[in-house]
Structure 1
Amino acid sequence: MQRIVTARIELDVSAPADLVFAVAASRAYAAASETLEVSVDGAPVPAREHADAHGGRLHRVDAPIGHLRLDYAATIDGTGAPLGADEAELLVYGRPSRYAESDALAPTAAAEFGGITDPRELLIAVSSWVGTELSYVSGSSLPTDGATRTLLARRGVCRDYAHLCVALLRAGGVPARLVAVYAPGLDPMDFHAVAEAWVDGAWCVVDATTLAPRDTLVRISTGRDAADTAFLNILRGRADLADMQVTATADVLPDDDLNRLVRLV
């Protein structure tokens, strides 16, 4: 499978800013070609690459005042290596986090899934339940909303679906985490968020939105929740999003059997 992904992000920087972008495909993939360029008012600006958890790649930019543009493009042939986990990682991904409040949602998890003891069955049941209970409504949630607020509102976007899946799985004793991805077949096209859970000795991906086939997804960054996987963090200064365009295509868009365990590779 060949996948081609691109991202263009434009920012209006009104005070010198320390910016961190997470848009590059994970190191797990051997990209046939890849470019990442940053400019401010047309002049090139250096981007320093740093390794993130689980193969993620961060690009840090010291941006002067002006109009910043980041352009990223990659062609990926084949698949990457699946990620493993040690006991310490599984402990981290079993705990509550900022946007996946598994402690607060423990009563909901017990009421809805208390009779399910097999992690595989729980993964499928949680994904199906979240997909049924929520309505996908663009612009219906805030960047600061977590799984609890999503459950109360019964609507959200991809990150909200993923946060609720992660929280309910952790509450059921299954380590889970959020993954930012490029998603060929997604409509409308954007950065996408899905959940991964540790089942049968492997990280298995679920997408309760069912908006893109899981076999085509390209991992960008991985973490406890959106606090670890945002495409942009502004550490200092002021920068406002002016425009963004994301594309992701694959030479094959397979059917997705929702009862099948899928590894994100």
Structure 2
Amino acid sequence: MQLDAGCELSFEAKEPTPLVLMLRPRSGAGQWIIREEYQITPAVNVTEFTDIYGNLCQRVVAPTGPFSIHFSASVQTADLIDVAKGAPYTPVEELPDGVLHYTLPSRYCQSDQLGNLAVEITKDSEAGYDQAEAIRRWIHENVTYQYGTSDSSTSAVDTANKRIGVCRDFTHLGISLCRALNIPARMVVGYLYQLDPMDLHAWFEAYVDGRWFTFDATQKEPRGNRITVAYGRDAADVAFTTQFGAMTLNDMKVWVNAVDEASTEKN
């Protein structure tokens, strides 16, 4: 399916403020970028680089006062995500060098503290894909999705204890439980068609049988029509905006429309 997706961000800067933005998806597995538009008001100098995870990042300095960003793209997306029940575990000694660090604890994903829970959840599952799917299903069935119940400091351990959160928290917990079993796992952020309520979204990927597979604990069943913007160890690596100064986000709008619905109001 071809999707038109994007976001509008409106800020107020109290002083000139450096920003790193991560808003541009790139063509890759399951998606092809057909068109994109990037507008920054007022106009400022922009430089772009690729971070260590392969994400496209833009550096700007926002001037004092109102500052807004508009990004939109038309993307051809895969209608389905790959499902591979029974796909085997990849032994650590066989992992590619660039995947190995996704087995380690990170800021929001304290996998070293969640081993017992991971073993309990997956005790009846075959090693590999089925373990990751058991983790995804357990989170979906046992953690309540609710806005306003977590913040930027909430970690996977917090979510495991409180059993409530949003997509970011579901994702951190899924990543941590996979890593506790030595299954590499990474955070993915982007857009999901017909997400309700509509927002920027997060899910996780687990590396089994020599490749990455998608898991989304907020959804009951596997769903395609996703646009990936960035990958990382956890939320610290994939923030859509990182600011270095006194700056307030006043408003954010996100939309994802099928192309034949593109004329509908963006909400």
Superposed pair shares fold, TM > 0.5? yes
SS of corresponding position for 1:221: strand
Corresponding residue for 1:2? 2
Give the Cα separation in 1 of the matches to 2:62 and 2:255: 25
Determine whether 1:245 maps to 2:244.
Answer: no
SS of corresponding position for 2:254: strand
Determine whether 1:157 maps to 2:166.
Answer: yes
Corresponding residue for 2:63? 64
Corresponding residue for 2:118? 109
Cα distance, 1:115 vs structure 2:
4.8
1:75-104 deviation per Cα after TM superposition (whole angstroms, max 9, x unaligned): 11355xx9xx96222210000111111001
Determine whether 1:199 maps to 2:201.
Answer: no
Give the Cα separation in 1 of the matches to 2:27 and 2:60: 20
TM-score (ref. length: structure 2): 0.85
Instruction: Count matched residues.
Output: 244
Give the Cα separation in 1 of the matches to 2:180 and 2:126: 12
Cα distance, 1:214 vs structure 2:
3.0
Compared CA separation, residues 3 and 87, structure 1 to 2 (3 A): same
Cα distance, 1:63 vs structure 2:
1.0
Residue of structure 1 aligned with 2:157, choices 141, 148, 151? 148
1:54-76 deviation per Cα after TM superposition (whole angstroms, max 9, x unaligned): 44211111111111100001111
Compared CA separation, residues 102 and 220, structure 1 to 2 (3 A): same
Cα distance, 1:117 vs structure 2:
4.0
Corresponding residue for 2:49? 50
Give the Cα separation in 2 of the matches to 1:113 and 1:251: 40
Contact 2:77–2:226, Cα closer than 8 Å, also in 1: no
Tell me, which stretches of 5 or more residues in structure 1 are unaligned? 253-265
Compared CA separation, residues 133 and 221, structure 1 to 2 (3 A): same
Q: 1:136 corresponds to which letter in structure 2?
A: Y
Compared CA separation, residues 221 and 23, structure 1 to 2 (3 A): same
Determine whether 1:121 maps to 2:134.
Answer: no
SS of corresponding position for 2:16: strand
Cα distance, 1:53 vs structure 2:
4.1
Give the Cα separation in 2 of the matches to 1:36 and 1:19: 15
Compared CA separation, residues 185 and 169, structure 1 to 2 (3 A): same
Tell me, which stretches of 5 or more residues in structure 2 are unaligned? 82-93, 261-267
Corresponding residue for 1:132? 141
Contact 1:182–1:191, Cα closer than 8 Å, also in 2: yes
Give the Cα separation in 1 of the matches to 2:157 and 2:248: 28
Compared CA separation, residues 213 and 239, structure 1 to 2 (3 A): farther
Contact 2:108–2:156, Cα closer than 8 Å, also in 1: yes
Compared CA separation, residues 213 and 11, structure 1 to 2 (3 A): farther
SS of corresponding position for 1:98: coil
Structure 1 stretches (4+) deviating beyond 4 angstroms? none
Residue of structure 2 aligned with 1:226, choices 194, 216, 235? 235
Cα distance, 1:33 vs structure 2:
1.3
Matched-pair identity in %: 33
Give the Cα separation in 1 of the matches to 2:232 and 2:189: 9
TM-score (ref. length: structure 1): 0.86
Give the Cα separation in 2 of the matches to 1:108 and 1:63: 44
Corresponding residue for 1:262? none
Cα distance, 1:32 vs structure 2:
1.8
Contact 2:194–2:256, Cα closer than 8 Å, also in 1: yes
Cα distance, 1:149 vs structure 2:
0.3
Cα distance, 1:155 vs structure 2:
0.2
Instruction: Say what the alpha-carbon RMSD is for the aligned residues.
Output: 2.1
Give the Cα separation in 2 of the matches to 1:86 and 1:115: 24
Compared CA separation, residues 144 and 18, structure 1 to 2 (3 A): same
